[in-house]
């Protein structure tokens, strides 16, 4: 059977279910163009989706891969993480081959987005499931007549068995802004990042691929176009304050985000920018 793409109802919201011949599966919600599930062939779920996530078509969905644009976190005056994660997208393309399934979801300005961020834009999220690999690409085009600038991220919630036992490799020697410690700039001097407390870091200019070791499961994490990597876990107290997370949810997630956070990306009228994050089950 070739790869398939089906329109499904996922907790009351329209979504696309991708499946390949090799047995890979993914679910992408049209709301927020958010990947909510990814299962590599013969493996288990690799993304964390909170069992308490709200799927009401207006609240941000806690988990999967939220798309943050045109603002990452609180780095400006717009709503936290921007305007896309709480808006519906439309399907622009669906394609399958023997070994892959590809969908592209699209946002453009509306009266609502214009009231918050007065710019003409097209933002497209392309999701490709191919073998044991998930590629998520954000393309932004300035369709207006004046330049604009933005920050952005693919806010990937990875599922881990027990976060204290997970090891993230590849960040040694990088500077990071520690948002869990008064935004101090620090340098990572450990071989691996181990999360044993609240962690909220923006690592600068990460050019190497990362490796997440989680028991006997390994995940390669590559980014192109996104210069920064955000590592986030709310830990016990902050997790308890999140109504859409179960009390122990923080133990089973680790956000490793591809981000353009430290410096804004500037686009002249007619220009485009592309950033990609790839997850590779090893």
Site for ligand TA6 in 83-112 (CB under 6 A): none
Question: What is the torsional sign of CA 113, 119, 122, 123?
Answer: negative
Confirm or reject binding of residue 135 to ligand TA6 (CB under 6 A).
Answer: no
38: exposed, middle or buried (Cβ count in 10 Å: 0-12, 13-18, 19+): buried
Confirm or reject binding of residue 80 to ligand TA6 (CB under 6 A).
Answer: yes
In Å, how far are 72, 118, 143, 162, 275 from 146, measured between CA atoms? 21, 11, 9, 47, 22
Helix (H) or strand (E) segment spanning residue 238 = helix 235-240
| Rounded CA Rg of the chain | 18
* 120 or 179: CB nearest ligand TA6: 179
Confirm or reject binding of residue 232 to ligand TA6 (CB under 6 A).
Answer: yes
Positions annotated as catalytic residues are: 155, 257
Q: Identify whether the C-beta of residue 143 lies closer than 8 Å to the C-beta of residue 120.
A: yes
Q: Find the shortest distance in angstroms from Cβ 66 to ligand TA6.
A: 7
Q: What span, in angstroms and rounded, lies between the C-alpha atoms of 169 and 95? A: 34
Pairing of strands 272-281, 13-19: unpaired
* 80 or 184: CB nearest ligand TA6: 80
Size of the site for ligand TA6 (CB under 6 A): 11
Single residue of 92, 120, 143, 179 touching ligand TA6 by CB under 6 A: 179
3 state DSSP class of 100: strand
Q: Identify whether the C-beta of residue 186 lies closer than 8 Å to the C-beta of residue 174.
A: no
CA 47 to chain centre: 10
Confirm or reject binding of residue 257 to ligand TA6 (CB under 6 A).
Answer: yes
Single residue of 39, 105, 138, 230 touching ligand TA6 by CB under 6 A: 230
Confirm or reject binding of residue 81 to ligand TA6 (CB under 6 A).
Answer: yes
Contact map string, positions 12 to 51, toward ligand TA6, x by CB under 6 A: ----------------------------------------
Confirm or reject binding of residue 276 to ligand TA6 (CB under 6 A).
Answer: no
Q: Find the shortest distance in angstroms from Cβ 259 to ligand TA6.
A: 8
Q: Find the shortest distance in angstroms from Cβ 202 to ligand TA6.
A: 8
Q: What span, in angstroms and rounded, lies between the C-alpha atoms of 233 and 245? A: 12
Cβ count near 22 (within 10 Å): 16
Applying CB under 6 A, the span of 73-81, 87-95, 120-128, 161-169 interacting with ligand TA6 comes to: 73-81
Confirm or reject binding of residue 73 to ligand TA6 (CB under 6 A).
Answer: yes
Q: Find the shortest distance in angstroms from Cβ 253 to ligand TA6.
A: 11
Q: Identify whether the C-beta of residue 78 lies closer than 8 Å to the C-beta of residue 71.
A: yes
In Å, how far are 71, 82, 220, 270 from 274, measured between CA atoms? 16, 17, 20, 14
Confirm or reject binding of residue 200 to ligand TA6 (CB under 6 A).
Answer: yes
> Which residues are at the interface with ligand TA6 (CB under 6 A)?
60, 73, 80-81, 155, 179, 200, 230, 232, 255, 257
């Amino acid at each position: 059977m070739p790869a398939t793409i089906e329109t499904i109802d996922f907790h009351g919201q329209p979504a696309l279910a991708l499946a390949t011949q090799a047995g890979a599966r993914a679910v992408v919600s049209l709301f927020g163009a958010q990947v909510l599930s990814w299962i590599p062939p013969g493996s288990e779920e690799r993304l964390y989706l909170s069992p308490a996530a709200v799927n009401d078509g207006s609240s941000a969905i806690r988990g999967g891969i939220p798309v943050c644009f045109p603002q990452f976190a609180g780095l400006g005056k717009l709503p936290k993480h921007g305007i896309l994660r709480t808006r519906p997208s439309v399907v622009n393309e669906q394609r399958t081959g023997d070994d892959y399934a590809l969908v592209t979801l699209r946002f453009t300005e509306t009266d609502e987005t214009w009231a918050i961020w007065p710019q003409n834009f097209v933002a497209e999220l392309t999701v490709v499931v191919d073998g044991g690999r998930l590629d998520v690409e954000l393309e932004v085009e300035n369709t207006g007549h004046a330049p604009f600038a933005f920050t952005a991220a693919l806010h990937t919630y990875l599922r881990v068995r027990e976060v204290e036992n997970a090891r993230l490799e590849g960040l040694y020697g990088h500077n990071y802004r520690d948002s869990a410690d008064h935004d101090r700039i620090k340098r990572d001097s450990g071989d691996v990042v181990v999360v044993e407390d609240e962690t909220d870091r923006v690592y600068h200019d990460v050019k190497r691929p990362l490796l997440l070791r989680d028991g006997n499961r390994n995940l390669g994490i590559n980014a192109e176009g996104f210069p920064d990597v955000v590592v986030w876990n709310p830990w016990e107290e902050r997790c308890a304050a999140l109504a859409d997370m179960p009390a122990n949810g923080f133990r089973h997630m680790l956000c490793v985000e591809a981000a353009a956070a430290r410096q804004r990306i500037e686009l002249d009228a007619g220009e485009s920018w592309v950033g990609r994050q790839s997850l590779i089950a090893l």
